[in-house]
Chains A and B, each alone.
Chain A
Amino acid sequence: MFALLGAVIAVILVSLAVGAYTVAIPDLAKTLIGQGDTKDNFIVLQLRLPRVAIGAIVGIAFGIAGALFQSMLGNPLASPDIIGITGGASAAAVAGLLVFGVTGLAVSSMAFLGALLVATAIYLLSWRSGITGFRFVLVGIACAFMVQGLLGYLLTRADVRDAQAALVWLVGSLSGTRWPDIAIAAGGLAIILPLVALLAPRLKLLQLGDESAAGLGVPVARTRLLLLFTAVALAAIGTAAVGPIAFVAFVSAPIARRLVRTGGLALIPSALVGVLIVLVSDFAAQHLLPGGVQVPAGIITGAIGAPYLLWLLATTNRARGEV
């Protein structure tokens, strides 16, 4: 846990210091406490800090959103990027950008509504005198395809230059983040995270099965709806800010649980792992590709996440087969 926190701090410092123009550590320290020279100030505070800040915020949002979905539904595949929740947020945001020409808070609100709409649809379609994780995931995957179709429609109908801009956003990129966007995302986290803290003890009981949880005094259906709402909101906050960075929500919690070795929720470790993945991917996407190519961070996370998905599918099926 402390090692994780240390790694996050180290990655933040490296992201701020290293680049086409590298700031020495003493200069970085000076700049951060407001005593740097004009050049360092511009590069660190104007160019790199917003990028790192939004990376940290969406890392937290995606990391916790994934952990909540997976624990609540008891299924490692139940992550907002797999079951179409971030897809819903993307489609709504792209519709906002391309069709209605809105920006800023309006885009975030539309992303939230889109995510909520998809989540509601999945919930209603998979409800059969209760919710089971498996059915929820299957219905969610079907919904993800429908949302993908809608996105394709929007992009093909749009003006080429607009579609290009939307595509970069759809892959998930931290570049071009401005402070107002950061403020919106941070404000969203400030509202949702206390709610998560309040619901966490009940989620720990839902992990024991609906009947055990009910026997221990948890109002199961209401708690699951509230958890769904918070997890959807977190996924939407992240997506609205930088686009649906692939697989961050999906892999953060399982990695965090493996690192801290706990049967608990591991919400804070998941958030830290989320931050780590987003920042390292963004750093790699900017500086580490051969030939100095720069790509959106989502390309890197996708390249890491997809093999993990395959591995997970292969091993879970094998485990099921044994029982």
Chain B
Amino acid sequence: MTITTPVAAHDLKMTGLHLAYDGREVIADLDLQIPAGKITVIVGPNACGKSTLLKGIARLLKPSAGTVTLDGADIHGIPTKKLATLIGLLPQQPTAPEGITVGDLVARGRYPHQGWFARQSSSDDAVVSHALESTGALELAGRRVEELSGGQRQRVWIAMALAQEPDILLLDEPTTFLDVTHQVDVLDVLMDLNRTRATTIVMVLHDLNLAARYADHLVVMAAGKIVTEGSPEDVITVSTVERAFGLESLVVADPVCGSPMVIPIGRFHGAGAS
């Protein structure tokens, strides 16, 4: 089965990257190297530019200056369809056309591997069913996407991204709008993918503690710049949380796995409270 074979390691790198919307600069002079075969999680306060950075990596935004390179080549110079076989993207709010079935949706992920008329081959079918299987969505294949719960729907979108068979998978807040059970569930699916297939994963997450638990490499951003990056143990400290989020907190070891855990203090609790 093609999908279980480990993927090639790629060198994904941003150098002096500037990203802007309508002339308004969001990311300024950013350098970042994405470690191959690892899970990189980008965290930061709202409007710090983390989603914008992901869009820049996914080539949805053209840099106003600087470059994003894949194995040394500027991603804006790589043919679109070829790049799509290497880098996959799950946006924050993808839309499913009315009436589409899960199987049909996931099969559309095969597009970059197909010729002009997008004929579905038997090897495409095998990849699609394996993608459904590894996200636990196989029994949903015949259902309509609009009938699914939020958690099931997110699994299906991830399955579509898997059917694309990218070596690098980018996800913009894949756990938003999910309850805590399904948040953990989705992150476990991604971790599975990373550990069995060595897919490089880059995602933006809201929840600092889940980020610290699942990340191999954590990037903390604030105001369009990287505050610090490294292993969660090195990065998550009281002073980093203060600097990036302006939040007074306590950092303890997660009782489940020992990763750092941020406990916010707030105005009404803790030593300073009356």
* Interface of A toward B, CB cutoff 8 Å: 71, 74, 129, 197-198, 200-202, 204-205, 207-209, 211-212, 214-219, 257, 261-264
Contact = CB atoms under 8 A, between A and B. Distances in A.
B190 to A, nearest CB: 16
A198 B114 CA distance: 13
Given A217-B80, A263-B144, 13 more contacts: A211-B55, A211-B60, A212-B89, A212-B94, A212-B95, A214-B59, A214-B80, A215-B89, A215-B170, A216-B84, A216-B109, A262-B99, A264-B104
Given A214-B58, A216-B164, A257-B99, A209 B111 contact: no
Nearest to B146: A263
Nearest to A204: B108
B97 A263 contact: yes
A215 B91 contact: yes
Contacts of A216: 84, 88, 108-109, 111-112, 164
Nearest to B82: A217
A263 B108 CA distance: 12
A134 to B, nearest CB: 13
B100 interface: yes
B145 interface: yes
Contacts of B84: 215-217
A218 B60 CA distance: 11
B148 to A, nearest CB: 13
A104 to B, nearest CB: 35
- Name the residue among A205, A208, A261 with the largest chain B CB count within 10 angstroms: A208
A219 to B, nearest CB: 5
Contact of B118 (A201, A215, A262): A201
B85 interface: yes
Contacts of A71: 97
A314 B134 CA distance: 42
B97 A207 contact: yes
Contacts of A201: 111, 114, 116-118
B83 interface: yes
A24 B228 CA distance: 86
Contacts of A204: 108, 111, 118
B96 A218 contact: no
A129 B105 CA distance: 27
B111 A263 contact: no
Contacts of B99: 257, 261-263
B118 A263 contact: no
B93 interface: yes
B81 interface: yes
7 contacts: A201-B114, A208-B105, A209-B93, A212-B91, A214-B89, A216-B164, A263-B101
B124 to A, nearest CB: 13
B22 interface: yes
User: What 8 A-B pairs are tightest by C-beta distance, nearest first?
Assistant: A263-B100, A217-B84, A215-B89, A201-B118, A211-B91, A263-B99, A217-B81, A217-B112
B21 interface: yes
A211 B89 contact: yes
- Name the residue among A74, A198, A201, A263 with the largest chain B CB count within 10 angstroms: A263
B139 interface: no
B76 to A, nearest CB: 12
B58 A215 contact: yes
A219 B80 CA distance: 7
B21 A129 contact: yes
Nearest to B170: A215
B83 A205 contact: no
A204 B114 CA distance: 14
Given A129-B21, A216-B84, A217-B83, A208 B95 contact: yes
A312 to B, nearest CB: 13
B91 A74 contact: no
Given A207-B95, A209-B91, A209-B95, A214 B60 contact: yes
Interface string B175-208: 0000000000000000000000000000000000
A113 to B, nearest CB: 30
Interface in B101-134: 101, 104-105, 108-109, 111-112, 114, 116-118
A205 B104 CA distance: 11
Contact of B108 (A74, A200, A205): A205
Contact of B104 (A202, A215, A263): A263
Contacts of A202: 111
Contacts of A219: 80
B94 A209 contact: yes
A208 B83 contact: no
Given A129-B21, A201-B117, A205-B108, A215 B88 contact: yes
A74 to B, nearest CB: 7
Contacts of B116: 198, 201
Nearest to B164: A216
A257 B109 CA distance: 22
